[in-house]
Every structure is written in structure tokens, then in C-alpha cells.
Amino acid sequence: MKPLIIANWKMNPSTIKEAKELFNKVKKTGAIICAPFTYLSELKSDNLCAQNCYWEASGPYTGEISLDMLKDLGVAYVIIGHSERRVHFKETDEMINKKLKATLATDLRPILCIGEKKGEDAKEVIKKQLEQDLNGISKKDLDRIIIAYEPVWAIGTGDFCEASKAKESLESIKEKLNNKVLYGGSVNSKISKDYIDVGFDGLLVGGASLKVDEFIKINQNV
């Protein structure tokens, strides 16, 4: 099966013009594009992904975006629990669990990010995050979740986790779940295939997804 490639643009690029240009150059890859909220309505694709959501349907939650709002724009996926949200915005496993449940009540597909910080034991962190984030989710709903294993120390640092090492975490996830599992963390075109070769179902690409040629190569190489 073709690996699933996801581009996480994070808070980039700075203008709608640049976002459209980037999108038009990379859309032929068929990758899922996680664009900032304000660009989602401008990009026409069945493979659009939001980078976050809120679990309530509407109400006094200044600054938040509901799943219905995303659905109304034709968004098909949403990233939940990215480490940048866990670290900078103090998202807890309890909040992530609520976001997952709210997403699974719609037809959007959640991409749940998990992974250890530097010095932490990957296996223990994966176990704890999966237990807490997936708490109370039915087996049927569980199957719709895409898991992204992203060691926090590898994100945006250039210090990727070697595929042979990442495979150990993949195995500890697959011991518990039958879901699609992606690798993320400083992916580039030279190493992209290594993760697919060790059994990952795809990649979550941050920095390199903003570089057109490099992103196209990542897609071609897998």
C-alpha cells in the first residue's frame, strides 16, 4: 500500500499568496496538507488537515475552532496532541482524550501524535500516552485513528531518530494497536524510505514540507 505522507506546515507560510503557491506546487504528490486554519478554506483538496481543534461544538471559547467549523470547510483530518501543543500550550492527555473523542464523533480522522522527550524512556511514554489519550474510546472508533510516533527531541532539530531505533517504538505501538503508524521528526528525502522499509505506514513531515523540491523527493523516494 502507498505510504501516507502528511505535510505539517505549522505556522507557515506568512501569506495566503505563498500558501497557495506552495500548495499548487506540491498537490500532485497527493500528500495530506496540514495548513494553518486561515488557509484551509482557500486550498481545494480532499486531503486537507487542521493542526488542532476544540472539543466543544460551540460557545464562549474565544480563539478556538470547532470540528463542525472544520467540517464545513471540507477538512478531512485533524492533528491532535502534537508535541508543540503539549509543550507550548500545556495540552494534557486529558484534553487530548476529549479532542479525540469529539473528532471521532464526526467523520474527520484524527492523527494522534505521541513520543518521548530527550532522556525519557520511549516505551514507557508511549504506553502512558496511549493509555491516557485513548481512554474510553471504543474499538470501532479506535481503528479510525492514525498514530504519529514523533520523538520530541527529533522534531525540528535535524537530529532524526534512526529508522532502526524508531522501529522499536513502532513495535511497542503495534503490540497494542493495529492502526496505521507514521514516523515524524526531521524527516528528509535521504532517510524517508528507511522508515517505510522498517514497517512505518507513512511519514509526518514538518520543516521539509515547506521546501518544494525536497518534499517532492520525499514523496518520490518512499
| Closer Cβ to ligand PGA, 55 or 184, answer by number | 184
Span from 89-97, 114-122, 194-202, 205-213 in contact with ligand PGA (CB under 6 A): 205-213
What is the total count of residues that contact ligand PGA (CB under 6 A)? 13
Residue 81 found at the interface with ligand PGA (CB under 6 A): no
**Binding status of residue 48 toward ligand PGA by CB under 6 A:** no
Strands 202-205 and 181-184, bridge-based pairing:
parallel
**Would you call 116 a catalytic residue per the annotation?**
no
Question: Taking the complex as a whole, how short is the minimal distance between the CB of residue 84 and ligand PGA, in angstroms?
Answer: 7
Please give the Cα distance from 128 to 1 (Å, whole number).
Answer: 30
- State which of positions 7-36 bind ligand PGA (CB under 6 A): 8
Report the 10 Å Cβ neighbour count for 209: 27
Does 206 sit near ligand PGA (CB under 6 A)? yes
Distance of CA 135 to the CA centre of its chain: 19
Return the amino acid letter for 194.
D
Per the residue annotation, which of 84, 91, 116, 150 is the catalytic one? 150
Query: Smallest distance, Å, CB 58 to ligand PGA?
Result: 29
Q: Which residue is nearest to ligand PGA (CB)?
A: 206
Residue 85 grid cell: 501543543
**Is 82 a known active-site residue?**
yes
CA–CA distance from 34 to each of 11, 14, 21, 169 (Å)?
10, 15, 15, 24
**CA-based torsion, 35, 131, 158, 168: positive or negative:** negative
Choice from 81, 115, 202, 207 touching ligand PGA (CB under 6 A):
207
Of 42, 82, 84, 171, the catalytic one is 82
Considering only 156, 179, 199, 211, the residue that binds ligand PGA (CB under 6 A) is: 156
Q: What share of the chain is helix, strand, coil (3-state, %, to 5)?
A: 45, 15, 40
Which residues are known catalytic residues? 82, 150
